[in-house]
Each structure stands twice: as structure tokens, then as C-alpha cells.
């Protein structure tokens, strides 16, 4: 069985141990290193560690966006998951430098494992609290309480199946997972995702997830309670 190599960077010792314990019990995940500081993370990277997934707490001392961007450049093939409070500005800044998967404090083991497995496949994972915060931030910035005319016009371009796929993207499902749920092949799912991106004129799946949330393709309250 091929395992996903993971590095975890978290300053709180209890949380770091809890994450490590939870992941150690998953057959397809291997923890390469668990460090409690940014310096420790730099040390393992300098030692040549190249994980498939890097889970890090944005609140680590001495961390800033420039340093995070530098690490991303150093590890171009690694998928990053940011653990952060659901605060719109920092989330948007992280998205701007290419981080598209997020966990929020209070996550459970199922969300942790799912975030890693989905991110390792190159998919997007948004913790429900993060997704809700992003939508609320967008609506405040736009000064509106619901999807605008442009969003609704774009929504009408999507087929029923494409709307279903967009809703599942917003819930963090991978192509394989969506295929199983919709009884179609992963290849067909990829085709639907491409069509959605083309029709909405988006570049990545985070934008699709936000669109699905804005336009009511899934129920925020139900996902917030998961």
C-alpha cells in the first residue's frame, strides 16, 4: 500500500501529540516528522524531507506569509494544509499564495484524516467554519446579502449534474469520492469539473466552492454541524 508522507508543524504539544496519534492509526498515512516550531520545520526540510502533505499552524511563532511562500517554493510538489482560525483576511492571504486547504480549531479526527487524504490527491479541503467565513467575508465586501446577478446568471449555465459536482467540491470531496457518490467514473467527474471551471471562468476549485456556497448549492448550517 502506498502511503501519504506527512509533516506536521504545531506548537501546542498536546495538539501535536493528538494529531500524530490520530494519523499513526491510519494505514495509508505516514508521519515523516512532527515538529513544534518553524525552526524545526526548516530543519527537516533542509534535511531533505519532501512530504506529500504539510499540515502547519499559521500561528506558529516567527511565521509570516513571506516565509510560508518561500517554503512552498522549496516544496513545489507538496500540498499544504493551513490550520487557522476562521478569519477572512488571513485565509484570503493564504489563498493568494496558493494554499487551498484549511482546517479550523476544533476539527475532529475524521476531518483531519479527510483533509490529508483529499489534499494529497490535489483536491481542495475547506473546514465548514472556514467555508462559512469566506462566504460571509465576500458578502460583506460586496455589500450584499445573497448571490448577485452575475452569480445567478452563471448558475443558470450549469447543468443539474454540474451543480451537484460543484456542491460536492464545496464539501471537499475528491474526484474519486464524487464518482462513487454520483455513480459515474472519475474521468467523467474530471470532465464535469473542467466544464464548471470553463463556464464560470475560474482557475481553481476554491473559487467553485465559494460559488456553490454563495448560490445556495449546499446548506451551510448542515455542514457547520458536521
- Enumerate the β-bridge partners of residue 8: 34, 55
Query: Does the pLDDT of residue 222 top 50, yes or no?
Result: no
Cβ atoms of 116 and 23 within 8 Å: the answer is yes
**Per-residue model confidence as pLDDT tens digits over 56-79:** 999 888 788 898 999 999 999 999
Q: Considering the domain 146-218, what is its CATH architecture?
A: Orthogonal Bundle (1.10)
Cβ atoms of 215 and 152 within 8 Å: the answer is yes
**Per-residue model confidence as pLDDT tens digits over 118-159:** 999 888 898 988 888 887 776 665 554 455 678 888 999 999
**Per-residue model confidence as pLDDT tens digits over 197-206:** 999 999 888 8
Cβ atoms of 209 and 124 within 8 Å: the answer is yes
Instruction: Give the model's pLDDT for residue 119.
Output: 93
> What gap in Å lies between CA 40 and CA 209, rounded to an integer?
33
Cβ atoms of 102 and 114 within 8 Å: the answer is no
Mean pLDDT of 157-168: 94
The DSSP secondary-structure symbol of 86 reads S
Q: What residue ranges do the domains of the chain occupy?
A: 4-132, 146-218
DSSP run (H or E) holding 55: strand 53-57
Question: What pTM was estimated for this model as a whole?
Answer: 0.71
C-alpha cell at 164: 451537484
Q: Considering the domain 4-132, what is its CATH architecture?
A: 3-Layer(aba) Sandwich (3.40)
Distance of CA 118 to the CA centre of its chain: 8
Mean pLDDT of 206-225: 69
Average pLDDT over the chain reads: 87
Query: Does the pLDDT of residue 42 top 50, yes or no?
Result: yes
> What gap in Å lies between CA 192 and CA 197, rounded to an integer?
9
Instruction: Give the whole-number percent of the chain exceeding pLDDT 70.
Output: 91
DSSP structure string for 162-197: HHHHHHHHHTT--HHHHHHHHTS-HHHHHHHHHHHH
Amino acid at each position: 500500500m502506498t502511503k501519504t508522507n506527512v509533516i506536521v508543524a504545531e506548537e501546542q504539544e498536546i495538539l501535536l501529540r493528538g494529531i500524530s496519534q490520530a494519523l499513526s492509526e491510519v494505514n495509508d498515512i505516514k508521519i515523516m516528522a512532527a515538529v513544534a516550531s518553524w525552526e524545526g520545520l526548516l530543519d527537516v526540510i533542509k534535511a531533505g524531507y519532501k512530504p506529500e502533505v504539510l499540515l502547519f499552524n499559521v500561528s506558529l511563532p516567527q511565521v509570516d506569509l513571506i516565509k510560508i511562500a518561500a517554503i512552498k517554493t522549496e516544496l513545489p510538489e507538496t500540498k499544504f494544509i493551513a490550520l487557522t482560525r476562521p478569519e477572512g483576511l488571513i485565509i484570503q492571504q493564504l489563498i493568494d499564495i496558493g494554499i487551498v486547504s484549511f482546517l479550523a480549531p476544533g476539527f475532529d479526527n475524521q476531518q483531519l484524516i479527510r483533509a490529508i487524504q483529499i489534499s494529497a490527491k490535489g483536491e481542495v479541503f475547506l473546514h465548514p467554519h472556514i467555508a462559512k467565513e469566506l462566504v460571509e467575508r465576500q458578502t460583506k465586501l460586496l455589500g450584499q446579502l445573497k448571490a448577485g446577478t452575475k452569480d445567478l446568471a452563471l448558475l443558470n449555465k450549469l447543468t443539474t449534474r454540474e451543480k451537484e459536482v460543484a456542491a460536492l467540491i464545496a464539501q471537499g470531496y475528491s474526484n474519486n469520492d464524487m464518482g462513487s457518490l454520483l455513480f459515474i467514473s472519475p474521468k467523467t467527474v474530471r470532465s464535469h469539473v473542467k466544464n464548471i471551471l470553463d463556464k464560470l471562468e475560474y482557475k481553481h476549485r476554491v473559487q467553485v466552492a465559494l460559488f456553490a456556497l454563495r448560490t445556495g448549492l449546499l446548506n451551510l448550517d448542515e455542514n457547520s454541524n458536521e
